[in-house]
Structure 1
Amino acid sequence: MQRRARAVVLNALSRRETGILTLIADGLSNKEIARGLDIGPETVKSHPKSVFTKLGVEKRAQAVWRAHTLGIVITQ
């Protein structure tokens, strides 16, 4: 079941969303992500909201935990 859930989430997330999710898992703030990707903070702000919806969570920590349990991001 987890393999199927992982595939569904990976198909739902865009490449940018997956990248931003990885940076969130690394502990970066929206401002740090924006600076690193050379995009506006408001653009960054919209991506986590979309990621949260696709993962069925409400907070950053929940998103990281869910992505980690699905093997989408690696956390230390």
Structure 2
Amino acid sequence: MNNRFIESIEQAGMKISGYSSAQHLVETVEIPEHPWFIAVQFHPEFTSSPRDGHPLFASFIDAAKTQHQKSK
């Protein structure tokens, strides 16, 4: 993401939580008040396998389980 949008993102209540190591560009944005909102500018599926998924996928599944338990 273009870094010139950082101020607008933060003013909208989002949190920048990850940058690219090579160019120091924003790659991960979260909404702290949301149960699970993470937007990424990379492809976690490319570093995953059926037995060893990217941590984002495990985090999403855990959040879904938590929400399901709360809804009971």
Q: For this structure pair, what is the TM-score category when the shorter chain's length is used for normalisation?
A: under 0.3
Length-normalised TM-score, structure 1: 0.25
The structure richer in helix per residue is 1
The structure richer in strand per residue is 2
Higher relative contact order (CA 8 A, sep 6+): 1
Length-normalised TM-score, structure 2: 0.27
